[in-house]
Amino acid sequence: MSAVQIQISESLEAMPATARELWRRLEPGLQFDQTLGWNELLANHALEAGEGVQVLSAHRGAECIGVLPLKSGVREGMFGLKPLRALANYYCSLYSPILASGDRAEVLRQLLEAVPRLGPDVLDLNPLLDVADASAGEGAQADAAVNVDARSVASALEQLGWRAERYFRFGNWYLEVGGRSFAEYFAGLPSQLRNTVTRKEKKLKQQAGLSIDIAQTPAEAQAALAGYQQIYAASWKKPEPHPHFVPGLVRFLAERGWLRLGLVQLGAEPIAAQIWACKDGIVSIFKLAYDERFAQLSAGSVLTTQLMRHVIDVDRARIVDYLTGDDAYKRDWMSHRRERVGIRALSHKSWRARGESFAAAVASGLRPLRTALTAMRHRAQARRRPPTTPTA
């Protein structure tokens, strides 16, 4: 068996052609926000100041067997650590190295072993699959089939001498459709939600000039995107920090046939919009927005119902995924919850990283002493406090 060679590229465009071929070959098993196209949008439109792309690719002979997309950043913390992070940000719901089938653990180790060539003091990979559990439901099994879990990443890094720590990123609510029709799914929702949606849908459909459309094609996407942007600007949400990313994503999804952009309008006035992605039986709910002037109509809930009906009955979705966050309303619509986590690892070869590690250990050791001193101070203050005089 030939040895594994690691190549370093300064951009996604500069990756070897075989790395791009591997990424595209594995695309059917990836979420929409793990595809090469998504990562290209992220690199082109959503990097922060001082960030740059670094890609490690593993090759055996003429074949690429693994890709680790990363980004560098500005130094951080009191020790000025040089960070290297996953090519991901707050838009992303799941990150993983792209690995061919076979000895995935060994390829992962080879890629991580090459990370010090990029000179980082700290490596931060997130959001990762928490633990690969083959006994879990269909959604968890689909994750585990193509993604590296956090335990495997931490184990590989620790074997290479890094000091790795796991941390929580966010909860992820999703629905396993299980072959049900929309009617069967809807009948199983909490009665309060069913009654509210039915009542609001009836009221909304009585409004003059109402239209509810689901844009899918590039031509439909352009008009719907304008409506979405108008609603977003009128909503409670903060302005997008990277204004070109979402429009680029909508066009990308439409070109691939993955876009489901729902839009509710009253006459020419858009009042609610949602951006969903439908890819290989997995539907991802990416963006929601509504105009607060029309909040009493609950157009957002009605639109969710219409999109659910479409992706279940027309697209035959297996999984519907709310992506990031533990918002209370997601529990009513979804059936399962899992967690996404991160791994932050300090390099044993870096004096800066060793300094931070030492400072953290000292702070941890002093914590019980600080707690004890605070308790002693409170007791002393209580003894000095004059007794209260009973009132008549």
Q: What is the pLDDT of residues 72-87, one digit of tens each?
A: 999 888 778 999 999 9
Q: Which helix (H) or strand (E) holds 228?
A: helix 218-234
| C-alpha to C-alpha distance for 337 and 331, rounded to whole angstroms | 8
Amino acid at 83: P
What was the pLDDT predicted at 139?
63
Amino acid at 369: L
Tokens found for residue 52? 């740059």
Q: For domain 179-317, say whether CATH 3.40.630.30 is its number.
A: yes
| C-alpha to C-alpha distance for 108 and 391, rounded to whole angstroms | 73
What was the pLDDT predicted at 178?
96
Give this prediction's pTM: 0.88
What was the pLDDT predicted at 98?
97
Q: Indicate if 179-317 has the same CATH topology as 4-171+340-355.
A: yes
Tokens found for residue 17? 């052609």
Residues 127-137 have a mean pLDDT of 71
For the stretch 153-198, pLDDT in tens is 999 999 999 999 999 999 999 999 999 999 999 999 999 999 999 9
Most confident of 214-218, 236-240, 292-296: 214-218
Confidence band for 151, pLDDT divided at 50, 70 and 90: very high
Q: Say which CATH topology domain 4-171+340-355 has.
A: Aminopeptidase (3.40.630)
Token match 């990562």: residue?
Answer: 39
Strand pairing category for 52-60 and 4-9: antiparallel
What was the pLDDT predicted at 137?
65
Confidence band for 142, pLDDT divided at 50, 70 and 90: low
Residues forming beta bridges with residue 183, ordered by sequence position: none
pLDDT exceeds cutoff 90 at 362: no
| C-alpha to C-alpha distance for 123 and 343, rounded to whole angstroms | 8
Q: Where are the domains of the chain?
A: 4-171+340-355, 179-317
Amino acid at 161: G
| C-alpha to C-alpha distance for 189 and 82, rounded to whole angstroms | 48
Per cent of the chain over pLDDT 90 is 79
Q: Which helix (H) or strand (E) holds 279?
A: strand 269-279
For the stretch 11-25, pLDDT in tens is 999 999 999 999 999
